[in-house]
Chains A and B, each alone.
Chain A
Amino acid sequence: MSHLHVPDGVLPPAWIISGLIVTIFFLYLVANRVKRQGQSIALLGVVSAFLLLVMSVPLGIIPYHLSLASLAGILLGSELGFIAVFLVTFMLALLGHGGVTVIGLNTLTMAGQTVLASYLYRLLKKKLPVPWAVAVTTAVGIAVSTLLVIGIIWGSQVNPALFLHHGHEHEVAETVEAVPQISMVRFLALTLPVATAGGLIESVFVFLLALYLYRLRPNLFEQESKS
């Protein structure tokens, strides 16, 4: 759980629906580009399957797993990486893992990590050895993804009911009163240690994995032809 999945029932419906619409919009955009450029759907399917496999490897007594979303961005590029993150989030949500209603928002937060990773890695690999560049990219990606989740939780505190029920002051007052606010200080105190520990573990794991893969297939980490 190096990344935070938002579970069902935390966010207001307006946020859930917006997340789905934005994700589907990006999926169509990216899928068109993938089709035009003739990028490998086979590689997309197989890498997504590998991510799912890695996520199923339990790492302790608490429900904890790795994500490798940054590695997906590095190996697949930003466009296929975005689709891969959606596929994985979707399949995981169908397993009751991460909310099914928040597939859109969870895709966007993880995709932020993937897309950033695909560009950041290109910069870092010029200055660092490849396994180190992959590990640093992963750490930064996880930090960004965590910030996106925190941003969404913080942003959703501006109760969308205020906009949905415009003109019905009495109803608005009732709705706002009925839905309590999340204490951001408490939320950060709870999630940041978990996310930081997860990020560190994942970065070390990805470093070792990249070291192994780079020794055997250095061409996997050549990104010039991607995105």
Chain B
Amino acid sequence: MDLAYIDNLAYSGTGPLHRANAKSKAAFVLVTLAGAIVNRHPLYLGLVGLGVLGLSFLEGLPWRRFLSLSLYPAFLALLFGLAFSQPEWRWIVLLRALASSLTVLLFLATTPYTEIFYLLRRLLPPTVIDGLFLTYRSIFLLLEGWEKALVALRLKGADRDPRAIVSALGLTALRAVDMAGRLEKIMVLRGYEAGSFLRTSDQGWHGEDYWLWGFSLVLAVLTFLSFG
């Protein structure tokens, strides 16, 4: 699953972007996304996409896989873009979606989920943040069971039989419900309160952070100038 793959990249990488503070990376992503959303120049959008792919390459990340992961947003953007009568706007919509998804993928592949959730603590209610943590934790447990079920289906030659796939997913759903029951008891025993999953994570400030803030500032100025 893509989530597990990207999560592994975020935890196992050692490049400059991996070392940078999550806040600096979030600022960079926000500025890049804002630039991609308000800018109407296909060339600018294309350059943002290429720049992000270049950063992924320099960081040692699988940029080709990132491109294939961007297929889904590209497909949807195409669906929406084709509704525009001007061909230039079809390109703008497509390139915006690609630039945005590649930027977010770069962020995710260099920042562990837990740090991203921690950044959201001031914006979202504690119950929702706890939900994010529990979803994140549960997905890998469920994934393990689902992969075993898939292997069993393949061994039986039933991996293309819709009913068999539905049964395997049904079994995974039941496993999920059972897991929730156990988790609930553990949370009650440990005196769960909303926000219990939040832990401070002071990552410190590194040289890379200055570069990222500087780069974000330049991008913000460029965006402002092109928009004005």
Contacts and interface: CB of A to CB of B under 8 A. Distances in A.
B105 A186 contact: no
Nearest to B165: A57
B200 interface: no
B128 A50 contact: no
A178 B40 contact: yes
A166 B63 CA distance: 44
A6 B80 contact: yes
A84 B73 CA distance: 21
Given A50-B173, A194-B79, A27 B125 contact: yes
A18 interface: no
A90 to B, nearest CB: 7
A46 B132 contact: no
Contact of B183 (A6, A45, A93, A182): A45
A62 B76 CA distance: 11
B41 to A, nearest CB: 12
Residue of B127, B132, B137, B172 ringed by the most chain A CB atoms within 10 A = B127
User: Contact residue range for chain B?
Assistant: 35 or more
A197 interface: no
B27 interface: no
A9 interface: yes
B214 interface: no
A7 B76 contact: yes
Contacts of A40: 180, 184
A129 B150 CA distance: 30
Given A27-B124, A91-B135, A209-B166, A99 B73 contact: yes
A200 B79 CA distance: 19
Interface stretch (B11-19, B53-61, B139-147): B139-147
B77 A16 contact: no
Interface in B168-210: 169-170, 172-174, 176-177, 179-181, 183-184, 187, 192, 194
Contacts of A9: 36-37, 77, 92-93, 95-97, 100
Query: Chain B: interface secondary structure?
Result: helix
A83 B133 CA distance: 13
A104 to B, nearest CB: 11
Contacts of A35: 127, 194
Nearest to A178: B40
A42 B174 contact: no
A94 B116 contact: yes
Contacts of A45: 130-131, 133-135, 137-138, 180, 183
A55 to B, nearest CB: 10
B36 to A, nearest CB: 7
A95 B69 contact: yes
Contact of A220 (B105, B124, B177): B177
A42 B183 contact: yes
B152 interface: no
A57 B135 contact: no
B83 A52 contact: no
Contact of A180 (B69, B85, B141): B85
Given A45-B183, A183-B85, A31 B128 contact: yes
Interface stretch (A108-116, A119-127, A139-147, A210-218): A210-218
Closest 5 CB pairs of A and B: A45-B134, A9-B96, A96-B101, A49-B138, A187-B83
Interface of B: 1-3, 6, 33, 36-38, 40, 69-73, 75-77, 79-86, 89, 92-93, 95-97, 100-102, 104-105, 107-108, 113, 116, 123-128, 130-139, 141-143, 146, 162-163, 165-167, 169-170, 172-174, 176-177, 179-181, 183-184, 187, 192, 194
